[in-house]
Amino acid sequence: MNREEVIALMKISKSETEWNANCDKVKEACGGYPDYWYPDIIGSGLADRVSESFSVSAGISIVTIVISEKRPLSIYGRPTEMPNLQKNEVVVGIYNQGLGEKTLVCRTLTDMQSLYDSYYSGMALTLKWAATQK
């Protein structure tokens, strides 16, 4: 599967399930994500544009202020419960799509799972969890 075929395949994804299936097709055909995956699919914004039509992210918002104090959270794999937070703390996902980190506030377990699922399906290079003051 060449670069143009991969881009065309990902563009036609109509649901998260189809996106994930297409990611699997790419990985199978290319022996993993090809070296152009992040610049062409993630960095170009293609993943964001395609996922907007089927993404469930109403409860996740981008934090535009600098958060100086973050308490790392030990969450491995897909979250199954909200972590224990101190008074006035919120959970943030530190999401890196290859163009720098975005800090996203997760108000519910569903928000956390949605962010993790997006990361796991190949829409981000890294995902770290932290708690920070509101």
Could you tell me which of 94, 121, 92 has the C-alpha nearest to residue 106?
Answer: 92
Q: Which residues share a beta bridge with 128? A: 94
Q: Where are the domains of the chain?
A: 3-52, 60-133
Whether 60 has a pLDDT exceeding 70, the answer reads no
Q: What's the pLDDT score for residue 66?
A: 46
Please choose, from the candidates 73, 57, 31, the residue with its C-alpha nearest in 3D space to the C-alpha of residue 119. 57
Q: What is the pLDDT of residue 51?
A: 78
Residue 70's contacts (CB-CB under 8 Å, 6 or more residues apart) are: 92, 94, 130, 131, 132
User: Backbone phi, then psi, for 109, in 5-degree steps?
Assistant: -60, -40
Element (H, E) at 21: helix 16-30
Shortest CA distance to 133 belongs to which of 111, 103, 100, 109?
103
pLDDT in tens, 45-57: 788 778 777 754 4
Residue 67 above 70 pLDDT? no
Output the pTM of the full model.
Answer: 0.52
Q: How far is it, in rounded angstroms, from Cα 125 to Cα 81?
A: 23
Mean pLDDT of the chain: 82
Q: What is the DSSP string of 70-83?
A: -EE----SS--SPP
Confidence of residue 127 (pLDDT cuts 50, 70, 90): very high
